[in-house]
Chains A and B, each alone.
Chain A
Amino acid sequence: MTQDTTVRVPVTVTVNGTEYTAEVPPRRTLVDFIRYDLGLTGTKEACSVGVCGICTVEMGGVIVSSCILLAVQASGSQITTIEGVADGEKLHPLQEAFMNYGGFQCGICTPGQIMASRALLEQNPDPTEDEIKDWMMGNLCRCTGYYKIIESIQKAGEVIRLGN
């Protein structure tokens, strides 16, 4: 990244309500842009091929894998990352539930788990266990065995249905 003689192009995105512009080579992936150019390191990268779900962010109202998107493809978009999920000091019900019901252990996959499950609960705050498994199947976790993640999502759904 340091010896670039590459042509750089401006990318402007709104992330968590703040507009950012940075000049990057077109080959910059969205996850690298978010982490290195914007300094928002809550979003992680692991598999780099769109499979593991760790880099999940919301773009244009839907969740995407930021490792297989270019930053230039996101130009002009509204993006939400894990840093934008809490309401100020008040954590999102999913963040509370993942802490209270053991939804994470090492924590590396958690930003992606929360971004993915947040999108699910926004369209269906009362998902069945099968619906959770189907929606979350691409978000891998090597610690929890998934049961605690499913429980955390169900508990957060209860809180959301009761109006927080």
Chain B
Amino acid sequence: MRDFQFHTPSTLAEAHSLLSDYGEEARVISGGTGLINMMKQDLIYVDHLVSLQNIDGLNYIRSTGEGLQIGGRTTQQEVATSGVVHENNPLLTETYGEVATVRVRNAATVGGGVAHGDPAQDPPPTLLVLDASVHAASKDGERTVKVRDGWFVDYYTTGVEEGEIVTGITVPAAPANAKTTYIKFLPRTADDYPTVAVSALGVVDGGVVTDVRVGLGAVNSTAVLAESVAGVLVGKEPTADLVREAAETVRDLCAPTPDFRGSAEYKTDMAVVFTRRALTRVLGLE
């Protein structure tokens, strides 16, 4: 790892001032599980790390009328084990509980993950399904961006702009009668990145589908929301044939990177298979 300077501001204002001074030579570090690995492998060079570790007030989980408010410095394990999260949004509990291992979840933070934009991370597809928003603060103030409005831009590229810090996320509650699931296809080891991952939510009311959402991870350069699925299913009685037809539509969203977890063709086929399984579960067809 190359040399760099490490800064530990104690307020957001100090952090913003440092980010402003050093511009593109600076990177924000939260838990560092993603960033340190990249720096150790010389994938990125950083002259100034601005750490959030001494800034108070960014670690919280609150239930409000709008859903859950989760601070950027909240660890992924805190989300995975929070009673408030489980009571309000079990899909978040399930998804954050699938991230890597307990050791990584204890260091990795919610805000760090959202800013990092690893295309194979677990939370992004679920945050797309749940229509979450990201709060990003710069020295000029805070803005709120829906993840669906293009937050996950490209491979390790997100909407966080130079000088901005992700201070938290807001996750609206799922509809009261929704069924949800997060399926991580792991043919190798339990702590691996997924070959493909599917997050899904479904509501069946009066025998017809009234809401259905599917998010996919590890199938493209970012997590993607499969809006085509709703077009096939909403307003109809859920059947195995319709689920099969809806799952086929995710094929067009897939452009996976071939690696030792599978070829692009295989991963695309698996995205269809696991979308079908997730839909079968959330539409009550099991």
Q: Which of B40, B51, B101, B189 contacts A49 (CB 8 A)?
A: B40
User: Contacts A138-B101, A138-B102 hold; do A73 and B32 have CB atoms under 8 A apart?
Assistant: yes
Contact in complex: B36, A69 (CB < 8 Å): yes
**In the assembled complex, B49 has its CB within 8 A of some CB on chain A:** yes
**Contact (Cβ within 8 A) B51 A137:** no
Which listed residue, B3, B36, B189, touches A68 by the CB 8 Å rule? B36
Write out the residue numbers on chain B whose beta carbons fall within 8 Å of the beta carbon of A70: 6, 32, 36
* Binary flags per residue of A25-54, CB closer than 8 Å to B gives 1, else 0: 111010000000000000000001111010
Q: Is A109 an interface residue (CB 8 A)?
A: no
Q: Is B5 an interface residue (CB 8 A)?
A: yes
Instruction: Report Cα–Cα, A134/B98, bound state, in Å.
Output: 10
Counting CB contacts under 8 A, is B21 at the interface? no
Complex interface: chain B residues within 8 A of A18 (CB): none
Kindly identify, within residues 174 to 226 of chain B, every residue whose CB is under 8 Å from any CB belonging to chain A. Answer: 189-191
Interface presence of A135 (CB below 8 A): yes
Residues on A with beta carbons closer than 8 Å to the beta carbon of B40:
29, 48-49, 68
Q: Contact string, B1-17, partner A, CB cutoff 8 A, digits 1/0? A: 11111101000000000
Q: Quick check: is B107 within 8 A (CB to CB) of the other chain? A: yes
Asked if B3 and A64 sit within 8 Å, CB to CB, the answer is: no
Provide the residues of chain A in CB contact with B104, threshold 8 Å.
Answer: 50, 65, 138
Other-chain residue from B1, B77, B100, B106 in contact with A27 (beta carbon distance below 8 A):
B1
Which of B6, B100, B191 is the most central at the interface, judged by chain A CB atoms within 10 Å of its CB? Answer: B6
CB distance from B83 to the nearest CB of A (A): 14
Question: Is residue B37 within 8 Å, beta carbon to beta carbon, of the partner chain?
Answer: yes
Determine whether the beta carbon of B103 is less than 8 Å from that of A27.
Answer: no
Q: A53 and B101: CB pair below 8 A?
A: yes
Q: Is A132's CB within 8 Å of the partner chain B? A: no
Q: Which of A25, A26, A138 is close to B191, meaning CB atoms less than 8 Å apart? A: A138
For chain B, the bracket of interface size reads: 20 to 34
CB of A13 within 8 A of chain B?
Answer: no
Q: Is there contact, CB below 8 Å, between A68 and B4?
A: no
A9-B6, A26-B4, A27-B2 in contact; A137/B103 too (CB < 8 A)?
Answer: no
B37 touches A50 (CB 8 A): yes
Contact A26 B36 (CB under 8 A): no
Q: Is the Cβ of A27 less than 8 Å from the Cβ of B3? A: yes
A137 / chain B contacts, CB cutoff of 8 Å: 101, 189-191
From B40, B53, B100, B101, name the one whose CB has the most chain A CB atoms within 10 angstroms.
B101
With the chains together, A68 CA to B31 CA distance in Å?
9
**Given A62-B77, A69-B32, A73-B53: A26 in contact with B6 (beta carbons within 8 A):** yes
Contact B6 A65 (CB under 8 A): no
> Which residues on the A side are within 8 Å of B103 (C-beta)?
50, 53, 56, 63-65, 116, 138
Bound-state Cα–Cα, A73 to B7, Å: 10
Interface centre among B4, B8, B102 (most CB of A within 10 A): B102
Q: B33: CB under 8 A from chain A?
A: yes
A6 within 8 A of B: yes
Taken together as a complex, chains A and B put the C-alpha atoms of A27 and B77 apart, in Å, by 26
Residues of B within 8 A of A162 (CB): none
Jot down 9 A-B pairs with beta carbons below 8 A, ordered by A. A26-B3, A29-B1, A63-B103, A68-B33, A69-B32, A70-B36, A73-B53, A116-B102, A137-B190
Give 9 nearest A-B pairs by CB, closest first.
Answer: A138-B101, A26-B6, A62-B106, A137-B190, A27-B1, A138-B191, A68-B36, A72-B6, A65-B103
| A contact residues vs B (CB 8 Å cutoff) | 6-7, 9, 25-27, 29, 48-51, 53, 56, 62-65, 68-70, 72-73, 75, 116, 119, 133-135, 137-138
Q: A65-B107, A138-B102 given; name 17 further pairs at CB < 8 Å.
A: A7-B3, A7-B5, A56-B103, A62-B77, A64-B103, A65-B104, A68-B36, A68-B37, A68-B40, A69-B32, A72-B8, A73-B32, A137-B101, A137-B189, A137-B190, A137-B191, A138-B103
